[in-house]
Amino acid sequence: MITVALTKGRLFKDFLKYMNENDLNNYIRALDGETRSLYTIVDNVKFIFAKGPDVPTYVESGVADLGIVGSDIITEDTFNILNVSQLPFGDCHFSVAALPDQEEFRVIATKYTNIAHEYFKNKRQDVSLIHLNGSVELAPLLGLSDGIVDIVQTGGTLRDNGLVEHEKIMDIHARLIANKRTFYTKEDEIYDFIKEIGVIE
Ligand SMILES: Nc1ncnc2c1ncn2[C@@H]1O[C@H](COP(=O)(O)OP(=O)(O)OP(=O)(O)O)[C@@H](O)[C@H]1O
Ligand SMILES: O=P(O)(O)OC[C@H]1O[C@H](OP(=O)(O)OP(=O)(O)O)[C@H](O)[C@@H]1O
């Protein structure tokens, strides 16, 4: 038995869409249902449903062998895991966004302070960061910050709040991650799963 950690929100919906497009019906039947259960078993794969930032924690500890997680999460925080491969879903990007006429960025609000810190440090720009937990678009609208560093997917949230992208920071994709030990001790089962979901030929 191998354990695969999935996130419950958007990324899970993208994974289901990917499975539908690739006729992975066995998994879809087990995963695509209305239930509050936090795990399900299909053949010899146990899927657990966690919050995105907790997926690498489960994988690092070895209670999960594999995980599907946004690259944003494993870029923002450091985990002792194997970063196996990029997956063909979950695409979005990080940007600096603000009101259209904003010229200077001295104060930035973000959920992703490490990514923002690294970005402005590399640009040799002295910026103060304010950590927020969500709805960060409010910060420049209320004058809490000059701009934000945040995830942009459709651009709808920025548009609906009168904000625009000023600088693109990096692309984001879903990634397959693995525990450093069990990737080798459970090699055959992991290989079968990865092959089945079409991540390798
Ligand atoms: N518009 C978006 N906003 C945030 N994350 C996105 C977006 N589009 C794709 N993603 C990716 O999806 C991941 C977040 O999905 P996830 O399923 O973990 O949580 P969620 O949809 O934010 O739900 P929850 O509210 O339960 O945290 C991010 O880590 C990122 O890689
Ligand atoms: O470009 P879009 O498709 O509009 O997506 C981007 C928005 O989605 C995310 O927020 P989320 O919905 O996770 O809520 P949050 O603000 O509480 O983090 C992100 O932080 C942006 O606000």
Query: Residue 201: its pLDDT value, please?
Result: 52
Tokens 């539908």 sit on residue = 20
Task: Enumerate domains of the chain plus CATH numbers.
Answer: 2-90+173-196 (3.40.190.10), 92-171 (3.40.190.10)
ipTM value: 0.95
Whole-prediction pTM? 0.95
pLDDT digits (tens, 9 = 90+) for 42-80: 999 999 999 999 999 999 999 999 999 999 999 999 999
**Mutate which of 152, 163, 165, 172 for ligand 2 pocket (most atoms within 8 A of beta carbon):** 152
- Across 14-23, 28-37, 38-47, 156-165, least confident range: 28-37
Q: What span, in angstroms and rounded, lies between the C-alpha atoms of 84 and 177? A: 5
- Statement: residue 173 has pLDDT above 90: yes
Q: Taking residues 28-33, what's their average pLDDT?
A: 82
User: For residue 30, what pLDDT is reported?
Assistant: 81
The partner residues of 42 in beta bridges, in order of sequence, read 45
The pLDDT of residue 24 is 87
Q: Answer for the pair 192, 131: CB distance below 8 angstroms, yes or no.
A: no
21: which 2 tokens? 């497009």
154 lines ligand 2 (CB under 6 A): yes
**Residue 200 has what pLDDT?**
66
Ligand 1 mean position, distance from CA 9 (Å)? 6
The values of phi and psi at residue 190, to 5°, are -65, -40
What DSSP letter does each residue of 53-101 carry, written as one string? Answer: GGHHHHHHHTSSSEEEEEHHHHHHS--SSEEEEE-SS--EEEEEEE-TT
Confirm if 179 and 59 have CB atoms less than 8 A apart.
yes
Could you tell me if the CB of 135 is within 6 A of ligand 1?
A: no
